[in-house]
Amino acid sequence: MTSNTTLERILLTGATGFLGGSVSAQLIAEGQGANLSFLVRAESREQGLQRLRDNLRQHGVSEAASLALEPAQIICGDFLDTTWLPRETPRLMQIDRVINCAAVASFSKNPTIWPVNVEGTFAFAEVMSRSKRLKRFLHVGTAMCCGPQQASPISESWVFPEAREQLVDYTASKAEIERRMSAELPGLPLVVARPSIVVGHRTLGCQASGSIFWVFRMGFALESFTCGLEEQIDVIPVDYCAEALIGLTLKPTLEHDLYHISAGHQAACTFAEIDAAFAQANGAAPVGERYRKIGVDDLKQLAGDFESRIGPANPRLVLRALRLYSGFADLNYLFDNSRLINEGIAMPPRFTDYLDVCVQSSSGVSIATQMQADFK
């Protein structure tokens, strides 16, 4: 990175999560560890640091690098209860750049989604908008906030569908906080990055999180899903997403204030390609001609095969999960990433390039266990 960013103070939110953990790990690997502050839900800085270290271990951070972090780098705070903000405002005013990964990233009807993702995030952003020192507030959204019935490939846009048109509460909340920050906080140096579907890690696979990878495992185990093998899906690994977020945060100037972090047309994979790579990683034959594309209303017909094909699991939860994910898969969206590439960010890898690592790291982990990451 450029020398004028090396001594800047960077605040990370969500560093105990999947994406935030990967961002933290990469910044530490780049020698930025001493410049980082972390907003962590904890009773004390020591407890917060322990939570952070536990997560960084899952992201491949060495014990030495983890132990080099200090309690003074922790800011104890929670977007669900923002009464801490006045107390910590003086420290927040010393921050140069923010990478805001914190969110309730759940496809369930979690009652904290709106309070955290909208109200709490806005309260935090409002305080940061008063800073005279802050150079960039990089907020992580989701590409799926564009809603259904859009023409693919999807270009970046600040126009959102109504909340009732969104597929789940999570995407509705992410659209609303972007709208509010953009419209109501003119003093905030806001840049929004919208990842597409984040699955696994190029070298660690599903070690840190099996989020969404279980959907592919389940679809091929059931030999059925609601999309065809010829259709494409826009998937990126968490470490590529983290690299892109860091690049957008630290680059001195940017052409835009809104970016997709996605596979795009060049790196998206068809389900047939994923089937072949999945089979090779498992030492098995592809599902191929045995695969059946079915309608969402037909998913319940698969329930009788759940235990024999995917192992012990709650049939009602599995059906609900399949219905939710079929809604996203059926969109068949690709997200235009030309803005990102034009900023000098590397081209994304293809899902099939690292799918074998995801398979290896998932051996011995049940599909039901991996599902838990997305239904908390």
Task: Give pLDDT tens digits for 117-168.
Answer: 999 999 999 999 999 999 999 999 999 999 988 889 999 999 998 888 888 8
Give the tokens for residue 54: 């536990």
DSSP 69: -
Residue 1: band (very low, low, confident or very high) from pLDDT cuts 50, 70, 90: very low
Strands 292-293, 232-233: pairing is unpaired
Give the tokens for residue 104: 């309730």
Q: How far is CA 279 from CA 33, 203, 221, 337, in A?
A: 40, 19, 11, 29
Angle subtended at Cα 98 by Cα 95 and Cα 100, rounded to the nearest 5 degrees: 145
Class of domain 3-209+233-267+333-350: alpha beta
**pLDDT of 172-216, one tens digit each?**
999 999 999 999 999 999 999 999 999 999 999 999 999 999 999
Residue 329 identity (one-letter amino acid): A
